[in-house]
Structure 1
Amino acid sequence: MTRLTRADLDAIPAYVAGRSPADLARDLGLPEAIKLASNEVPFGPLPGVVEAVTAAAAGSHRYPDPAAVVLRDRLSARYGVPADRLVTGCGSVAICENLARATCLPGDEVIISWRSFEAYPIVVAGVGATAIRVPNTPAHGHDLDAMAAAITDRTRLVFVCNPNNPTGTSVRRAELDRFLDSVPENVLVVLDEAYREFITDPDVPDGIDTYADRPNVAVLRTLSKAWGLAGMRIGFLVAAPEVAAAVRKVTTPFSTNLLAQAAALAALDQEEEMRRRCALVTGERDRLTAELRKLGQDLPESQANFVWLPLGDRSAAFGAALESRGVIVRPFQGDGVRVTVGTAAENDSFLAAAADAL
């Protein structure tokens, strides 16, 4: 049969989503299973979100505002940046894809730390570029010196995930300053700050406040995590006006859908409650870290809403052992296991299962 698709796509791994807890519970004959695999916040939608989505659904026979003007204006006021520097999208991962489209041609290179967000190599390969994977440091973080050394005249884009998914490690201001000063002005650095709201280390800089005025820096944020809109898929980019305009050109029309725009506006009204929930998450994150260290695990310090167990070749077996106990985590074969912070009760169940599995 004549091939109808690109042969190079055979080498791209499929994105792995977390397993359905309902499916696992049914398979095990349990009343319910616990999902700690997808970095969701476990407390439900923020107040007012369901009502806003319900009201917006009455207009779902109409297209949404393609420029998301009301939402962009709200984000502009909230983050103190002009609206022409903002781009919204179907989650920050979709904006990653659009950044690759806007900057790369086949044969160009994109530098990423590895292991980092598993979608990066997929979106890079999707535009025919090459992902240059720079190994993490022994402490499971970005090796910025090695990433700077990997830049060539073919480099168009660099992703810095801060905090890093899946390891939870963060880059502090002094080393990030030094790295950004070393990057050529024709290379765009993307600071992916999907987990910004969970950071408690004051030395980890806010990319929008600190670096968004640099022409070759773009900052990604999402409302999927701390703002509780994972199911609505909405994120945004802050970049120089020229970069933002180019990204808008390659963005799928109407991809920031009607319900997502309504949900985002309602969620942004609930900042105090969002921060209260983040405090609960970070408190539980610190408890999980301490308890896992008591079990003999050498965890890096996390600044996200998950922790990283560097189990190496034991990762898949550990994940399977926990699933057999009704707890879903996210193994990365050969590297480690990412565990999302859940409610206190969910975390207790995880710790009990982990103690048995370890």
Structure 2
Amino acid sequence: MTRIVHQLSLNENHSPPLPGVHEALASSLDHVHLTLDALADGLTSELAGRLDLDVERVVAGAGSGALLQQFLTAHAGAGSTVVHTWPSFEMYPLLIRNALAEPVSVSGPDDRQDLNAVVAAVTPDTRIVLLCNPNNPTGEVLDAARLRDLLDALPPHVLVLVDEAYREFADPEVIADAVELARTDDRVAVVRTFSKSHGLLGLRVGYLVGAVEVVAPLRLTTPFYRVPTVAQTAALAALKAEPEMREQCERVAAERDRVRSGLLDLGLDVLPSGGNFLWLRLGARNQRFVAHLAAAGIAVRVLANGAGVRVSTGTPEANDAVLRAAGRFATEPRTGSRTVSAGTNDG
């Protein structure tokens, strides 16, 4: 079996740690035996200040996945439904069912998010509409106008939770800023993470923004989804390195677009993306493409019940390897497919 050299199935940020993060982690090791800021009040205050929001509207948590679970548990529940688009993050149905609610997936044409169909899927039992922007795995970016139209069409009892895990890789002139929408519409909540843009995936730090009455119920479970002391320290250091973070994300986005251009030149079907990944739709050849890249030492993933292949953006060396392997794949005779496994669900 070929050894995987380039792990591009997990949407990791392959940029080096941001300035100050190493030092912050090292300094925090002397205090791991102490409680210190158990509920991350310092980090929450720093985030609220940077967002120009009252601190009561922000809650820090153990990554966006934990915050999604807290939110769904607090605001959905037995007998309710949560509507989400599809393809989207594969963990949404599991998280929704963990909250004892029923997931309702809504597909759109050409793997696009059909927000009119989302509205049509809402019933009196619907408590939440869950959107990923940019969408994982398709990379689609929703602008502010589309989200405002959605809000105008939804009944007042439905909350809209926007998962912005990848927003820093998208064009800021295009992508909706859900925090701005939340300032004037109490139905909007936003979850963000340090895992992708800030490179703290292994530390699990995220935050959620919403109206005071929407955020307050999450604080009841915060003691059980605490941000570890070392993670708080690293997140505070990463926030101070925002210019470097933005530069890193721009470089990742440039590499993403370079790879897409190369794949398009090979005649492959690759959607535009605002994330740190690309979505390839090869139909019956999806699994064959994964196997072909695995044979070249590159791990990528088939997602959404076989709808397509997601290729994360890696280092320039890894991305060059993808283009070389894809070039060989594009010239292969179109014979059958075989199944390989290349990675686990990312959070």
Same fold (TM over 0.5): yes
Instruction: Give the 5 Å matches for 1:301-312.
Output: 301-312=272-283
TM-score (norm 2): 0.91
Match of 1:335 among 307, 328, 337: 307
Give the structure 2 partner of residue 323 of structure 1: 294
Counterpart check, 1:49 vs 2:16: no
Letter in 2 for 1:63: T
* Residue in structure 2 matching 1:115, options 80, 87, 97: 87
- Change in 2 beyond 3 A, CA 1:254/1:101: closer
* 1:126 match: 98
Give distance in 1, aligned partners of 2:17 and 2:232: 14
Shift of 1:137: 2.6
Residue 4 of structure 2 corresponds to residue 59 of structure 1? no
> Which residue type is aligned with residue 202 of structure 2?
G
1:37 aligns with 2:16: no
Contact kept, 8 Å, 1:224 with 1:233, in 2: the verdict is yes
- C-alpha contact 2:39 2:226 (8 A) present in aligned 1: no
Offset at residue 254 of structure 1 (A)? 5.5
Is residue 141–residue 164 contact of structure 1 (8 Å, CA) maintained in 2?
A: no
**For residues 59 and 13 of structure 2, what CA distance do their matches in structure 1 show?**
24
8 Å CA contact 1:102, 1:250 repeated in 2: no
Residue 301 of structure 1 aligns with an amino acid whose one-letter code is P
Q: Count residues with an aligned counterpart.
A: 329
Once the two structures are superposed, residues 159-206 of structure 1 have per-residue CA deviations (whole angstroms, 9 ceiling, x without a partner) of 111100000011122221111111112111001111111111623221
Deviation at 1:252, TM superposition (A): 4.3
Task: Describe the shift of the 1:87–1:131 C-alpha distance in structure 2 as closer, same or farther (beyond 3 A).
Answer: same
| Whole-angstrom CA distance in 2 between matches of 1:184 and 1:56 | 47
TM-score, structure 1 normalization = 0.89
- Aligned pair partner of 1:296 in 259, 264, 267: 267
Match of 1:256 in 2: 227
Q: What CA RMSD, in Å, does the superposition of the two structures yield over aligned residues?
A: 1.4
Shift of 1:141: 2.1
Question: Identity of paired residues, percent?
Answer: 41
2 CA distance for matches of 1:267 and 1:189? 28
CA offset digits 1:216-237 (Å, max 9, x no partner) = 1101111101111111111100
**Following superposition of structure 1 onto structure 2, how do residues 107-256 of structure 1 map, counting pairs within 5 Å?**
107-138=79-110, 140-200=111-171, 202-253=173-224, 255-256=226-227
Inter-partner Cα distance in structure 2 for 1:187 and 1:208: 17
**SS of residue in 1 equivalent to 2:84:** strand
Is 2:59 aligned against 1:87?
Answer: yes
Partner Cα distance (2:172, 2:229) in 1: 36
**Worse-superposed segment, 82-91 or 192-201:** 192-201
Distance 1:341 1:247 in 2: 33
Measured in 2, the distance between the counterparts of 1:86 and 1:225 equals 20
Task: Say if 1:86 and 1:93 are closer, same or farther in 2 by CA, change over 3 A.
Answer: same
1:329 deviates by 0.9
Where 1:88 maps in the other structure, the secondary structure is: strand
- Asked whether 1:273 is paired with 2:236, we answer no
Paired amino acid for 1:80: D
Corresponding residue of 2:49: 77
Give the 3-state SS of the residue equivalent to 1:301 in structure 2.
coil
